Amino acid sequence: MKVIDLVNELDLQVFSGKEGLDNEVSCGYTSDLLSDVMGHAEAGSIWVTIQTHKNVMAIASLKDMPAVIITSGERPGEETVEQSNNENIPVLGTTMRSFEVSGKIYNILAKK
């Protein structure tokens, strides 16, 4: 499944990294502790978090993540947006809480 499919299905806002909307999503990871994500997220995971710091992008890139979803209506900082565009890793947004959007993604991926 591609990032753009999730954007359409879950009505996600695309903040940045549009070039990466065709990135392939194979699984997901939900966490706000960046040390935890660095240690445990699998490549191909779409990352659900409320963290907006620019280190999010460095870790998304390090872990070969297709996209990041920022939840609860939070918005990425300027530098996060810039890095997202440079790395072609989209930063997406939703007003849903992490629990809700994670559950939806889980179900969508399970059907594939």
Partner 1 sequence: MRPIRADIHIHSVLSPCGSLDMSPAAIISKAIEKGLEMIAISDHNSTLNCNLAVELGKEAGLSVLRGAEVTTAEEVHCLTIFPDENTASAFQKFLNEKIQHIKNVPGKFGYQLVLDRDENIIDEVEYFLPAALTASIDEVEKKVHSLGGLFIPAHIDRPAFSLYSQLGFMPSDLAADAVEVTGKLPEIKFPVIRNSDSHIIDQVGRRYTTYMLNEPTFSELAMAFRSENGRSVISVTP
Q: How far is the CB of 48 from partner 1 (least distance, A)?
A: 16
55 binds partner 1 (CB under 8 A): yes
Q: Which helix (H) or strand (E) segment is 68 a member of?
A: strand 68-70
Q: How many CB atoms within 10 Å of residue 94?
A: 21
Nearer to partner 1, 21 or 81 (CB): 81
Nearer to partner 1, 4 or 46 (CB): 46
Q: CA separation (Å) from 91 to 4, 54, 104, 111, 112? A: 12, 11, 18, 24, 23
Among positions 11, 73, 77, 103, the unique one binding partner 1 when judged by CB under 8 A: 77
Which span sits near partner 1 by CB under 8 A: 14-22, 53-61, 90-98, 101-109? Answer: 53-61
89 binds partner 1 (CB under 8 A): no
Strand arrangement, sheet containing 27-30: 13-16, 91-93, 68-70, 45-49, 27-30
- Site for partner 1, rule CB under 8 A: 32-35, 37-38, 51-55, 58-59, 77
